[in-house]
């Protein structure tokens, strides 16, 4: 079953079985993705470093968004209106 497809309407035990099955499927899919990346020449260390850098990027981006939001409130404008002033794209 695909994630989220199990929606048992009964006993808690059945709900747990369904959740376990979904987690097994996710685990299998992740193992397959890791195997694919390893077969393409990536190393586990490289993948872990990449994930770490993505987390750091997201943390920095979140902090920037928070600062833009506070500045927008102070100025009485929307965050979107500040983007051109700082040469930001709406997709940033």
Check whether 89 has a pLDDT greater than 90: no
**Pair of tokens at residue 87:** 């040469």
For 25-47, give the DSSP string.
HHHHHHHHHHHHHHHTT--HHHH
40-52 tens-digit pLDDT: 998 888 888 989 9
Structure tokens at 56: 């750091």
- Both structure tokens of 59: 């943390």
- Distance, in Å, from the CA atom of 10 to the CA atom of 20, rounded to the nearest integer, reads 16
* Mean pLDDT of the chain, nearest integer: 87
- Where are the domains positioned within the chain? 8-42, 43-91
Question: What Å distances lie between residue 81 and 63, 73, 90, CA to CA?
Answer: 18, 11, 10
Q: In this predicted structure, what is the pLDDT of residue 47?
A: 84
């Amino acid at each position: 079953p695909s994630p989220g497809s199990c929606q048992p309407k009964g006993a808690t035990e059945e709900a747990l079985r369904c959740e376990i099955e979904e987690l097994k499927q996710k685990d299998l899919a992740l193992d397959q993705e890791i195997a694919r990346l390893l077969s393409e020449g990536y190393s586990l260390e490289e993948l872990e470093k990449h994930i770490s850098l993505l987390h750091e990027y997201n943390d920095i981006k979140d902090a920037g968004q928070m600062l833009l939001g506070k500045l927008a409130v102070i100025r009485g404008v929307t965050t979107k209106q500040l983007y051109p002033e700082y040469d930001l794209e709406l997709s940033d």
